[in-house]
Chains A and B, each alone.
Chain A
Amino acid sequence: MTPHRSRHGGRPYLLVAPAVALLLLFFVAPMLQLVRVSLYEGGGRSGFGIGGGGFYKPGTWTLQAYRTLLGETYFREVLTFTVLLGVGVAGITLAIAYPLSLFIHRLPPRAKSLALTAVVLPKLANVLVLIYGLELLLSSSGPVNGLLVGLGAVSEPVTLFHNLPGVLIGETYLILPYAVLVLVAALDRIDPTLLPAARGLGAGPLWAFWRTTLPLSAPGIALAALLSLIWALGAFIGPVLLGSPQELTLAVEVQRQTFENINWPRGAATAVLMLVTLAACLTLYQVPARILRRWRSMP
């Protein structure tokens, strides 16, 4: 991490200039503009792209959009649902990703790189197509329902999308590969002699795992959970394509306000509140993350 001492002399203004220009122009400025738009007075007229204007009243400064949003039960419900969905998806993702990562971690090298390719491959494809494949997989005549009915778990096909389970499955599916990559990297970093050592000292397989592998991979778990939570809070595609109108998230709300309701101040204010929610969740997340990290140093 530490840079080599300055051998070239001078200051690297030219080297950083393109990146700084790109970030200022296309990241910092749009974020400031987002806040500015959220402070306009809404004046929605239709005619997107025709003649321009009409999405807000220029020159106004008001907290109207925020006041409306925070006063509404509708918005509070969407906000609560987004947070609960985010936590739920992060939890399910970890519950599947951790055992899967353990499995991949223990594979011989060649099989391991094959397995990791299988995990990453869906990420090279178009998200929309994945969702579409998922819909076919979950449909009432699809293989999942066939299996459930065949095993006698259910008497008739269950609806697995256009409802909450669909959203959970879809978002978990989209986030899982990232979590697995982080967790496998964390597991690979653990000293491989520790587990046999614990076993040699008489610990049973579960106890050895509980006292060596699990606590040592805790920082990886904390990071994977954090990343899953961040991405799940921005859930859009899952709720729109695999959910029903009841599964509204903040991201869907931003898009709807901007393009269907043509109320940019409200859309922008929702986006700002989304960032605030994200920041609040990250702050609150420090509590379980600290416990996870402390676990590692437990005697």
Chain B
Amino acid sequence: MRRSLSLSRLFENVFGLGTLLLLLWPLAYAVWISFTPSELLEPPRGELSLRWYRRFFELPQWTAGLWNSLKVAGLSVVGSLVGGTGLAVAATRYHFRGRRLLSGVVLLPLFVPAVVLGMGLLPWLRFLGLWGSLWSLAAGHGLWSLPVVFLVVRSALEEVDPSLEEAARGLGASPFLTFRRVTLPLILPAVLSGAVMGIVLSLNEFMIALFLATPDTETLPKVIWPNLRYTLTPLVAAASCVTMLLTLLGLALTASLLRVERFVDRLVSRGKQ
């Protein structure tokens, strides 16, 4: 009995660790290959080389793609932060007609296949005259970051003790001042992590870009796409390592910002004692 139990435990651990490793493997392998000195898609033997990274920054089409990706991510996240945070505050702090409906509709884009969104956005943005500008891509990516920011900020707002805001209002602060000095500092971590999630989504998004990008507005995934289909070079691996590095930098930056903030908090509260 006991032996069979430990045997099943062993099996479970092997399965669990094995699956986790399998999940990480494609990613790790792509990173590894991006350092190859060879012309072909093969893992580096012996020394590592940065030649494919140098190549990446030498090719104007690829660096332009990277710039476009960053601009689109920035534009879409600004819109989603304003829209998502506003909606989250309204949904948790006010009663108004359509509150439930709006909280549901904002999540809908997450459940509509990206192809369908792209197919609808393409004729509509051409009609609006936005097609061919980075705004069109930002609009498409905003459809995903808006619900993400909304969800994250809403759950943070539900945690905030309402008596803090009541106290500020009771002491004569305007609703806006209350939000800026009491609520916003408390939900800032959530707002920041929502923003980072939105940026990550946008940097790696591919379907909407496939439908909306024009030669002037290609984002990096759109530049990678034909290369992946027809010619395989280690350049693709290097390019995606660059995006991943940016993503990780963003995450690290957010984490350290939050830590600095907590540190300041602690200093302030200690000073008061």
Contacts and interface: CB of A to CB of B under 8 A. Distances in A.
Interface of A: 1, 3-8, 11-12, 14-23, 25-27, 29-31, 33-34, 36-37, 49, 52, 96, 99-100, 102-104, 115, 118-119, 121-122, 124-134, 136-137, 173, 176-177, 205, 230, 233-234, 236-237, 240-241, 250-251, 254-255, 258, 264, 267-268, 271, 274-275, 278
Contacts, number: 241
B115 A274 contact: yes
A128 B206 contact: yes
Contacts of A36: 123
B236 A18 contact: no
A133 B82 contact: no
Contact of A129 (B82, B121, B240, B251): B240
Contacts of A237: 206
Contact of A128 (B27, B114, B175, B224): B224
Contacts of B158: 1
Interface in B148-177: 150, 158, 162, 165-166, 169, 175
A104 B29 contact: no
B33 A136 contact: yes
B195 interface: no
Contacts of B166: 7
A3 B106 contact: no
Contacts of B30: 125, 129-130, 132-133, 136
A245 to B, nearest CB: 13
Nearest to A96: B19
Contact of A20 (B93, B102, B224): B102
A55 to B, nearest CB: 8
A236 B95 contact: no
Interface string B9-41: 000110110011001111111100100000001
16 contacts: A7-B162, A12-B96, A15-B94, A17-B86, A19-B106, A26-B142, A125-B204, A126-B224, A128-B228, A129-B224, A130-B27, A133-B29, A136-B29, A177-B23, A205-B8, A251-B115
B73 interface: no
Contacts of B75: none
A55 B91 CA distance: 42
B240 A125 contact: yes
B267 interface: no
Given A126-B224, A274-B115, 7 more contacts: A6-B95, A7-B166, A16-B96, A34-B123, A49-B214, A133-B30, A230-B113
Specify the main secondary structure of chain A where it touches its partner: helix
Interface stretch (B44-52, B185-193, B242-250): B242-250
A22 B8 CA distance: 52
A19 B162 contact: no
Contacts of B228: 128, 131-132, 241
B140 A26 contact: yes
Closest 9 CB pairs of A and B: A133-B26, A234-B113, A103-B16, A30-B120, A34-B120, A19-B83, A129-B240, A12-B90, A19-B87
A225 to B, nearest CB: 14
B96 A11 contact: yes
B5 A205 contact: yes
A4 B92 contact: yes
A234 B111 CA distance: 10
Interface centre among B80, B109, B113, by most chain A C-beta atoms within 10 angstroms, is B113
B26 A130 contact: yes
A31 B84 contact: no
Contacts of A19: 83-84, 86-87, 102, 106, 146, 150
